Chains A and B, each alone.
Chain A
Amino acid sequence: MKLHRLFAVMRKETREIIRDRVTLSTAFLFPVMMLLMFGYAISLEVENVKLGVLDQDQSPSSAALIDAFAESRYFKLIRHYNSELDIRKSMEISEVKLALVIPPGFNALVGRDNLPEVQLLIDGTYSATALVALNYGMSIVSGFKDRGDKLIKIQTRIWYNPSLQSVIYVISGLYAVIIAAFPPLLTTLAIVREKESGSIQQIYASPLTVPEFLLGKLIPYGFISSLQLASIVALGFYWFKVPFTGNLAYLGIAGLIYVFCNVGIGLLISTITNSQLLAVLLALVVTMMPSMLFSGFVFPIYAMAEPVQLYTHIFPARYFVDLSRGIILKDAGLTEMIQPLSLLLGYTLFVFFAAVAIFKKKVA
C-alpha cells in the first residue's frame, strides 16, 4: 500500500463527488426527503380508535369503565351493542376497530380479590396499530382495576417514548434505513460508472493495487455518507424533536462503523456487476428493501417467526436500529453497545476484505 497512490485516488474521488450534482443530491437531498416523507407518513399513532361497547352488567362500575375508555384520547365511543352478534357485524363492516365486552357480574367482582374480567375484541387487520390499540385498552382496564382495588389512581407508565409518539420511534430507526439505502447506491455507481465508461481499464493498467483503489473509493464515500447521517440526525433532533438522551460520541462511533459497513456493501456489489442499471437494482434489493422489513425499524423483530428472526441478522441495519434507539432514547452505555457494535465492525471488515478478494484487475 502506497499512501501517495491512495491519496491520488481519494483526491480524484472527492473532486468528482463535489462536482457531480446527482451524487450530491443523492447524498444530501434524497435522505432528507425520505426522512420527511417517512417521518410524516409512517404513523403508528392510535388516536380516536373507534370503539363499540357491549355492557352486559349495566352497573356503576361498568359505566365507570366505559367512561374511562371514552375519556381517553385514544378511543372514541361510537356504539353500544345489545349482543355479541352485533359486534361481529359491526366489525365486519369496519364500523369499529375495538369492542369492549363487560360480562354480567362485573360490578360485584370489582374491589374483591377475584379479578374482574372484561373482554377486548380487536380488528387485527393491521396488526401493528391493533397491538398498540390493544395495549392502550389493557392499560386502561388495569388502571381501572387497580383503582377499584386500592382506591388509588395508579398511572400506567410508558417507558422510552413517554408521550407514545410513534414519530420518535420511527425516526430513530429510520436513520439506519436511510444509511442502508443511499451510501451503497452511490458507491456502487461510482465504480460501475467507471466500468461502463472504460476508464477502469486505465486503472487496471496502472500501478494502483486493488486495496489502494477500493480504499480510495471507500474513504471519500464513507466521509460523505457520515455527513449524510449527521444531517439526518440533526434534522430528526431539530425538526421532529426526537429527544437525545445518550452520548453523542457513542452515536458517532456506531454511526461511523455503520456507514463504512454500508459503503463496503456498495463496493462489494460493484465488484460483481458491470452495468449501472443492475447495480442500482441490486443495491436496492440487498440493502434498502430488506433493511425496511427486517431491521426492526417499524416491524418488531421479536414478533417475527424464529427463522425470520435469524434471517434478520444478515442485515447490518438491524444492529444499527438497536444501537441508535439505544443511544438516542435509552442512553445506552458501552455494555449494551458492545455486542451489536462488534458484530457490525466484524461485518464491515468482512465486506471490505471480500471486495478486495473478488475485485481483480482484469477485464474478464
Chain B
Amino acid sequence: MNASEELTAPPSADDTNGLEGVIVTQNLCRAYGDKTVLRNVNLSIKPSEIFGLLGPDGAGKTTLMQVMAAILDPTEGSCTVMGHDSVKEAYWVNSHIGYMFQGFALYDKLSIEENMRFSADIRGLSRDVFESRQERLLKMAGLFKFLSRPAGNLSGGMRKKLSLCTNLIHEPRLLLLDELSLGVDPASRKELWDMLHESRDDGVSIVISTPYMDEAEHCDRLAFLHEGEILAVDTPESLHRRCTGHVYELSTDDRGAAHNALVAHQDTLSIRHLAERVHFQLHTENHIAEDLEAALKQNNGVIEPVSSSLDDAYTMLSGGEKSSAYAERPPKIHLPERLPEGGRIRTEGLTVRFGDFVANDHVSLEIRPGEVFGFLGANGAGKTTFIRTLCGLQPITEGDAWIGGVSIRKEHRRLRNHIGYMSQRFSLYPDLTVAENLNFFGGIYGLNRSDRKKAIDWTVSVTDLGDVKDNLVADMSGALNQRLALACAIMHEPEVVFLDEPTSGVSPAARYKFWQLIQTLAEVGTTIFVTTHYMEEANYCHRLGMMHQGRLIGVGQADELIQQLPPEVGATTIEDMFLAYIKIEDQRLESLGFEAEQTS
C-alpha cells in the first residue's frame, strides 16, 4: 500500500506545515441529518498544552473529538491535525495520534499486558521498546503488579488508567481524550491527571473533553462548548476573571422570597441554590441595584461578594439562566400513613458482608429530616451497598437501620411507598411518553386517580416538563431525562429520596434548576441522600459523609471537615479534603497492621 501508511518517527515540528496549531479547525460544522451538532468551530490547539473542551452532554464534545481523530468527517469546514487534513489524510492522522473513547474501550478478556501489547503491536513497536515503556507507564499508573489480571476484573479507575497507558505506549505527539474521568473517583482522577501533566511536560499536546467544571480547572486552556458552538477560548484564570464582581452569595431565612425577588429583577443573570446559601450572578459589575438589595435584605438576608467559578463563567457566556418562579411545594395527596419519625435515617453498627468481603463495616449515622446529605466514596467503597440496604434490597448481616423510625431489618416492606430512588442510569421506559411514564410510576406507588393527577400536575410543573409531556422519552436529551427521573422518584411524596450522581453531565442551567427543586423538597422535610464523585454536587449538601473500604471515615459540614484536618495538609477544596481523609485512614490501617488495599 502507499507510503503514508508507514509508521515513521514521531512528527517533528516541521510536520505542522508552517501552521502554528497542532490542531487547527476552520469553520468546522458537523450535522447528522437535520440536526447540527457542531457549528462554525474555529480552534487552534498549541503544542504541549492541555486543552479542555468543556460542555454538558449533547454540547458536541464527542463529535468534535471524533473529527479531530479523523474518524468522522466534517460536513463543512476543515480540520488539520499536525499539518494533515483530517479527511484527505485520515489514515495519516489515525496512525499518529492517541485517541481514547469515553467508555472503557479495553478488551475485557485480555490481561493488562495483553491489552498493552495489542496497542503496541498494531503500531509495530519493537519488543524491547515495548517492555521498557510498559514498565514505566504501568508503574506510574500503579498497575504493574497486576500485569496478568484481565481488564474485565479491574475497577473503573484502573481501567481508565490502563486505557490511557495503551494510548501512551506508542508515544503519540497528540492525545485526544474523550471524558477521561467519566465514572472515576477523585483518587484515581488525581493519578490520571498526574500522568497527563507528565506527558505534557514531555511535549505532548493533549485535548481532553469533560462535563465537569472542577476538572476543567486543571487545563492550560479551555473552550466552552455550548449547543455545538464555541462560546469562549481562554485560560481558566481569565475565564474566572470575566465574571469577577458579578457573583454574590446570600444567606436568608426565606429562600423562596429571595428567589422570586431575583427572578423579577432585570439585573439577575443566574440563581443557584446551595445548601445554606443562594448563589447569584448579576449583569452589573461590582454593584447591586438598590431595590434588589433591599428586597434581598429582608428576612435577615446577608449578601456577600464571592469569587467566581468556571460554572459562573459558563453560565454568563451561555446567556445566563433565571429559572422561573420558585418551585411550588408539593400538593396534599392521600398518602399512606406517614412514618412516625418522618424522613429521619438512622443506622447503628450496620454491617453487610458478602462472604469474607465486608461491604459496610459497622456504619453508624444519623440524618435528620429535611437534610441534604452528600455521600462521598471511591468506586467500590461501599456506597451502593449502603443505599441498597437502606432501600431494603440488601439483607443486613449485623446491626440495623431505621427510616422514619421503622426498622429496615424487620419491616422494610412497610417503607416501599416512603422512598424515592433515582439511579444514575435513569430507569425510565424509553418507548413511553413523559406522561405515560409518570402515570405508570404513579400507579406503582398506588396513587388513586385524582391523587395521581394532582401529583403529576405538580411534578410536571416543578420539573418544567409541561412542554414535553407527550414526547417519547427515547427522543429527549439527557437533562430532560434526568428531570423526568426525578419527577418519577418524587411524585409519591416520599419521606426520603436517594439520588445517585444526579447532575453529572447536565448543563449548569439544568443543574441549577434541579437543585433548586431539591432544596424545596428539603424545606418541606424530605430527606435527600446524594451519592456522588463530583465535588460540584457536594456544594449543594448540608452535610457530607465519606466512606472508604466500607467504613465511614468522616461526617460533618464541608468546612468543619476541612478544619478538622491537620493544617499542614493544606486542603482548600472538598476534593483535597476527601483525599486527605482517605490518606489518614489508610495510614491508620497500616499502623494497625492491615495492608492498605488498592481501592482506586
Contact = CB atoms under 8 A, between A and B. Distances in A.
Interface of A: 1-2, 4-5, 7-9, 11-12, 15-16, 19-20, 197-199, 201-202, 204-209, 361-364
B443 interface: no
A364 to B, nearest CB: 6
B103 interface: yes
B168 to A, nearest CB: 13
Interface in B52-84: 66, 69-73
13 contacts: A4-B121, A5-B124, A7-B121, A8-B122, A11-B118, A20-B109, A197-B103, A197-B104, A199-B103, A202-B99, A205-B70, A209-B91, A362-B73
The 4 A-B residue pairs whose C-beta atoms are closest, nearest first, are A8-B121, A205-B99, A207-B95, A198-B103
Given A204-B71, A207-B7, A207-B94, A199 B107 contact: yes
Nearest to A213: B122
A15 B72 contact: no
A197 B159 CA distance: 14
B71 A201 contact: yes
B124 A16 contact: no
Contacts of A205: 69-71, 94, 97-99, 176
A363 B72 contact: yes
Nearest to B125: A4
Contacts of B97: 205
Given A202-B99, A205-B97, A207-B7, A15 B110 contact: yes
Contacts of A197: 103-105
A5 B105 contact: no
A15 B91 CA distance: 27
A207 B4 CA distance: 10
A208 B90 contact: no
B444 interface: no
B308 interface: no
B105 A209 contact: no
B427 to A, nearest CB: 20
B233 interface: no
Contacts of B66: 201, 363
A8 B101 CA distance: 21
Contacts of B119: 202, 206
B124 A2 contact: yes
Contacts of B99: 201-202, 205
Given A198-B102, A207-B94, 18 more contacts: A4-B121, A8-B121, A9-B122, A12-B118, A16-B110, A20-B109, A197-B105, A198-B101, A201-B71, A202-B105, A205-B69, A207-B95, A207-B123, A209-B1, A209-B91, A361-B71, A362-B71, A364-B32
B94 A361 contact: yes
Contacts of B70: 205
A201 B123 contact: no
Contacts of A8: 117-118, 121-122
Nearest to B100: A202
B114 interface: yes
B175 to A, nearest CB: 11
Nearest to A17: B109
Nearest to B32: A364
Interface in B234-277: none
Interface in B130-180: 150, 166, 176
B5 interface: yes
B517 interface: no
B106 interface: yes
Contacts of B123: 206-207
Contacts of B69: 201, 204-205
B141 to A, nearest CB: 17
Nearest to A1: B1
Nearest to B178: A201
Nearest to B103: A198
B72 A364 contact: yes
Interface string B1-27: 100010100000000000000000000
A8 B170 CA distance: 15
A5 B1 CA distance: 14
Contacts of A4: 121, 124
A15 B94 contact: no
Contacts of A7: 121
Interface string B387-425: 000000000000000000000000000000000000000
B107 A362 contact: no
A4 B102 CA distance: 28
B105 A201 contact: yes
A16 B123 CA distance: 20
A78 to B, nearest CB: 57
Contacts of B90: 361-362
Contacts of B114: 12, 15
Given A202-B99, A204-B94, A12 B72 contact: no
A363 B37 CA distance: 14
Contact of A209 (B5, B7, B118): B5
A8 B169 CA distance: 15
A206 B121 CA distance: 11
B512 to A, nearest CB: 31
Contacts of B101: 198-199, 201-202
A1 to B, nearest CB: 7
Contacts of B106: 199
A2 B2 CA distance: 12
A363 B103 contact: no
Given A4-B124, A364-B32, A207 B105 contact: no
Interface string B419-458: 0000000000000000000000000000000000000000
Nearest to A204: B71
Contacts of A2: 5, 124
B94 A16 contact: no
A271 to B, nearest CB: 15
Interface centre among B95, B97, B122, B176 (most CB of A within 10 A): B122
B95 A206 contact: yes
A45 to B, nearest CB: 45
A198 B62 CA distance: 12
Contacts of B104: 197-198
A5 B118 CA distance: 9
